[in-house]
């Protein structure tokens, strides 16, 4: 894994859909951005940072996610996730991630990813980009 620059960040915008609401086997709990969806999107934002740093023979895997859900985001609204590197060693990348809705902090977290050899896992199936995404992301190093 290459070294991250001092300002290594990535952002990702996601429009909250019905698939993102808090729900369990008994049904929908609240029609707002669920914590499980926020964790998923935080991990994705951190992965966007990692992708710019991986060597061709490397792959990254999630190792730890911590999330504090601070405010509701309604269905149909856009949440912006920003991941920034806070720690790195030879095989580990730690990002702080914020989720914002209209500029207000809706969630904060920390994502740890570990770099492994590319052949450590079976290759993923070919998939198209996530349909619920606006497809906007910007990474810098």
Q: Quick check: 101 and 79 in contact, CB under 8 A? A: yes
> Structure pTM?
0.84
The b/e string for 17-39 (b: 16+ C-beta within 10 A; e otherwise) is eeebbbbeeeeeeebbbbeebbb
Task: State the pLDDT at residue 140.
Answer: 46
Q: Quick check: 96 and 66 in contact, CB under 8 A? A: no
pLDDT class of 125 with cuts at 50, 70, 90: confident
Q: Quick check: 16 and 75 in contact, CB under 8 A? A: yes
Does residue 42 sit in helix, strand or coil? helix
Task: State the pLDDT at residue 128.
Answer: 61
If you average pLDDT over residues 51-55, what whole number do you get?
94
pLDDT class of 133 with cuts at 50, 70, 90: very low
């Amino acid at each position: 894994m290459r070294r991250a620059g001092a300002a290594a960040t990535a952002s990702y915008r996601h429009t909250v859909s019905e698939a993102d609401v808090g729900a369990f086997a008994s049904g929908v709990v609240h029609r707002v951005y669920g914590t499980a969806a926020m964790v998923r999107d935080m991990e994705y934002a951190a992965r966007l940072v990692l992708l710019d740093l991986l060597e061709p023979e490397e792959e990254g895997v999630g190792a730890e996610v911590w999330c504090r859900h601070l405010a509701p985001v309604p269905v149909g609204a856009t949440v912006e996730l920003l991941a920034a590197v806070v720690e790195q060693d030879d095989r580990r990348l730690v990002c702080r991630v914020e989720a914002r809705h209209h500029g207000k902090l809706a969630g904060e977290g920390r994502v740890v990813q570990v770099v492994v050899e590319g052949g450590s896992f079976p290759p993923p199936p070919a998939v198209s980009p996530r349909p619920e995404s606006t497809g906007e992301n910007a990474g810098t190093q």
